[in-house]
Chains A and B, each alone.
Chain A
Amino acid sequence: MAVQPAMPRSWRRETKPHKFCPGCGHGIALRVLGQAIDQLNIQDRMVFGCDIGCSLLAWDFFNVDTVQTHHGRTTPVIVGLKRARPELVCVAYMGDGGGYAIGAQHLVSAAMRNDRITVILINNTQYAMTGGQMAPTTLPGQKTETSPYGRDPDMTGHPTQGPEMVATITPESAYVARGTISRPKQLHKMVTRALENQIAGRGFSFVEILATCPTNWRTNAKNTWKFIEETMPTHFKVGELKVPEAFQAAAGGEGARADG
């Protein structure tokens, strides 16, 4: 029997195998989050909020108090909760449609207020749950169900640069990064920091995660990997955009960059 990778303690075994499609990036993102929860020992004082879209499938994923909310509304639910119970570690988990389209005003406002929450946003360049429509993150020329001839940036704009936007509107105490499921070690560092920054009470913490969606991309394993490793990073630069000084001091200057 093949050796199975260790399951994070915070995962709920009863609900595994999970409900995501084969090859979906959510599984790796949630494994990284689970490992960070274990490592920071916050399983018993954390609230996980998930959105509508594929992220809702995580509603029973963890042995963690979880609230599945409405499309785009996970941010305000988590903001309301965190302000009511600041001792809890509160995570809002959503897709690119939820964060950058229908819930954009909530993301912007929470970031502007520097709400002490952690937002983790999965960017797979389209609306996956509803069958592969164009999203704010769809690449120029990319074919989706609602851009069947390819996204025309002249008519529908360029892919949203989410972390860049959040980094622009947040104060220095915020943590902002873009990771990818293709580099779990780097992503682990980012997610851990995004949680630590909240635990320290410093500020808004945001990680966009580039993730695969072979089902809607209609790609085989090779092309899925090629798309996330080669194509997506040409539009979405992976790395940390905003790192509070405390992390930089702890890591000793340059080494603070989670460069994988």
Chain B
Amino acid sequence: MSEKPITGEKRVFMTGNEVVAWAAVAAQAEIMYGYPITPQNEIMHYWTRLAPKFNKTFLQTEDELSAGFTTIGGVLAGKKTFTATAGPGTVLMQEPLAMAEMMRLPVVVVVMQRGGPSTATVIYSQQEVTLTTFGGNGEGFRIVYSTATHQDLFDYTIKAFNIAWKYRMPTFVLGDGYQAKMREPLTMYDPEERGVELVKPEPYVGLPGMPGEERPPGHYRNTYNTEEELNEVVNDHVKAYEQIQNELPEHDEFGTENADLVVVAHGVVARATKQAVEALRAEGLNIGYFRPITLRPMPDQALRAMADRTKKILVVESAQGQLARLLKESLYGKTVEIVPLFRPGVGVTPEEVMARSRELVA
């Protein structure tokens, strides 16, 4: 029944949602709990079709609160468990994710951004960056990978399970409706065949032995009695996150050495900016490209080094400055000029980026 889902390298042409389902299977995830919301639905559709073949579990819950909390239950049971959501679903999901942050539970959440605020559109935006990076009543101790291509969706979904279970932090794959719904080619593979070690999950409850006699009982809580008690717990999180900030930031960049302008974008918008920057460089313009892949933690060091080498930064996003806010935090104290190209809720074309870039270096 549960033979390897993918052997060798497999060139495929599929939607991003289908890619996520396959990647979760390849990562040896065992359970998906989810609630329908566009544009992530097909992750569930494909997972439920793959489930009987590979001995996987699924439950369609009553809402996203339940999807998040059942996912926590799956993780506590020691199974790689994930959910997927979008828009108002991401809002509801913040409650279970705050619990996951407090208790350092390795839940994996795939967010396919749709328009906001409110119900908005079912189609596309980059307006869930703030919510995904810093949602919840806490400190935003989460790991967020922003994908740009279907290959990214496959690679980073696998990685998300590994990173979540290695660092015991809630981990996100942040895509969008365009990535979710469009088809494009990618290479699927079995991660272990490629030498990628799959981090094994461990149960929090139901371990062998009589609790209180042969082993201590697992007593997990998120409630504390005093300010000092809580402060100690959060300080431990701070320490753990410092390690994450040292080890996990990822980015992509080119042409940023002594550039007149560097265009910064994440996710699918980075594909437009990459194309624009390549075309402008072919014209002989001294313009660079920078794409943060992790939005939590941001690649602070690389960004600060880049800021020292350029005159201006153009930040491009399908939101009204959600990436820019993270960027400014990373660049605090730098005097480089930051110019916005904000297109909330709509896609960005290379032509728009080229036109604005030309104005800025003219």
Contacts and interface: CB of A to CB of B under 8 A. Distances in A.
Given A68-B220, A73-B96, A106-B62, A81 B74 contact: yes
Contacts of A44: 208-211
A96 B232 CA distance: 32
B57 interface: yes
For A70, A87, A106, the residue with the greatest tally of chain B CB atoms inside 10 Å of its CB is A70
B66 A59 contact: no
A45 interface: yes
Interface in B57-86: 57, 59, 61-63, 65-66, 69-74, 76-79, 81
Give chain A's interface residue range (CB within 8 Å of chain B): 35 or more
Given A47-B205, A76-B69, A63 B213 contact: yes
Contacts of B61: 76, 109
Nearest to B218: A65
Interface in B129-180: none
B66 A109 contact: yes
B119 interface: no
Contacts of A70: 69, 95-96, 99, 222
B2 interface: no
Contacts of B99: 69-70, 73
Contacts, number: 138
A120 B344 CA distance: 47
A62 B220 CA distance: 12
B8 interface: no
Given A45-B206, A88-B206, A80 B77 contact: yes
Given A68-B223, A83-B59, A84-B79, A63 B66 contact: no
Interface of A: 10, 12, 43-45, 47, 52, 56, 59-60, 62-70, 73, 76-85, 87-88, 105-106, 108-109
7 contacts: A67-B76, A81-B77, A83-B74, A84-B31, A85-B77, A85-B78, A105-B63
Interface of B: 30-31, 33, 57, 59, 61-63, 65-66, 69-74, 76-79, 81, 95-96, 99, 203-213, 217-223
